Amino acid sequence: QVHSLQELRRSASLATKVFVQRDYSDGTTCQFQTKFPPELESRIERQLFEETVKTLNSFYAEAEKIGGSSYLEGCLACATAYFIFLCMETHYEKVLKKISKYIQEQNEKIYAPRGLLLTDPLERGMRVIEISIYEDRCSSGSSSSGSSSSSSGGGAG
């Protein structure tokens, strides 16, 4: 029952989506909640999921880090009246590329084989990590119907 990413989209039907919301307890920096959504209980090991979210959080922390190199970049940009942004890629953008690679790799190795798909938060305005839960077409009726009516959901109430 191993799916590759492309196969997943074609052969499986989307059952539901789970949203991992932002964790604002540290301010406005981009962090996601590591709380394990109940819908994924049967689909993936808790530890793997938490590992993914923690790694993503660390990537975002790195991107938004205020330190020597970011100051240098900021001052240089200011000195050139910000024209330098026309030709240079910012540190944040570089990290975002790393993140997107990481997500793709996670999808291929871990999530797709379990019938799940992570969406890059950048595509969702950095609001949520969207996890699509797919049901295998062949196995009709064996749908777990991931989100139950009384699910408290992944996000904080």
Partner 1 sequence: MTPGGGSGPMKDCEYSQISTHSSSSPMESPHKKKKSAPRRKWEVFPGRNKFFCDGRIMMARQTGVFYLTLVLILVTSGLFFAFDCPYLSEKITPAIPAIGGILFFFVMGTLLRTSFSDPGVLPRATPDEAADLERQIDIANGSSSGGYRPPPRTKEVIINGQTVKLKYCFTCKIFRPPRASHCSLCDNCVERFDHHCPWVGNCVGKRNYRFFYMFILSLSFLTVFIFAFVITHVILRSQQTGFLNALKDSPARYPFTETNCRSQAVVCFFSVWSIVGLSGFHTYLISSNQTTNEDIKGSWSNKRGKENYNPYSYGNIFTNCCAALCGPLSPSLIDRRGFIQPDTPQLAGPSNGITMYGATQSQSNMCDQDQCIQSTKFVLQAAATPLLQSEPSITSEELPLPGKTISGPCATLTLGQPTPPSSMPNLTSDTGLTDMIPLKEEHEGHQFLTPEEAPSPPGMLPSGSPITHSHTMHVLSLASQDSLHEDSVRGLVKLSSV
Binding window for partner 1 (CB under 8 A); candidates: 41-49, 50-58, 63-71, 102-110: 63-71
Query: Is the CB of 55 or the CB of 119 nearer to partner 1?
Result: 119
Min dist. Cβ of residue 151 to partner 1 (A) = 8
Among 38, 51, 59, 153, binds partner 1 (CB under 8 A): 153
In the bound state with partner 1, the residue whose beta carbon lies nearer, of 46 and 85, is 85
In angstroms, what is the minimal distance from the CB of 78 to partner 1? 6
Choices 49-57, 99-107, 108-116, 121-129 (CB under 8 A): range interacting with partner 1: 121-129
3-state secondary structure the chain: CCCCHHHHHHHEEEEEEEEEEECCCCCCCCCECCCCCHHHCCCCCHHHHHHHHHHHHHHHHHHCCCCHHHHHHHHHHHHCCCHHHHCCCCHHHHHHHHHHHHHHHHHHHHHHHHCEEEECHHHHCCCEEEEEEEEECCCCCCCCCCCCCCCCCCCCC
Given 41, 50, 93, 108, the residue binding partner 1 (CB under 8 A): 93
Which of 56, 41, 34 shows the shortest CA–CA distance to 102? 56
Contact residues toward partner 1 (CB under 8 A) are: 9, 13-19, 22, 24-28, 63-66, 70-71, 73-75, 77-78, 81-83, 85, 90-93, 96, 122, 124-128, 130, 137, 140-141, 143, 145-153, 155-157
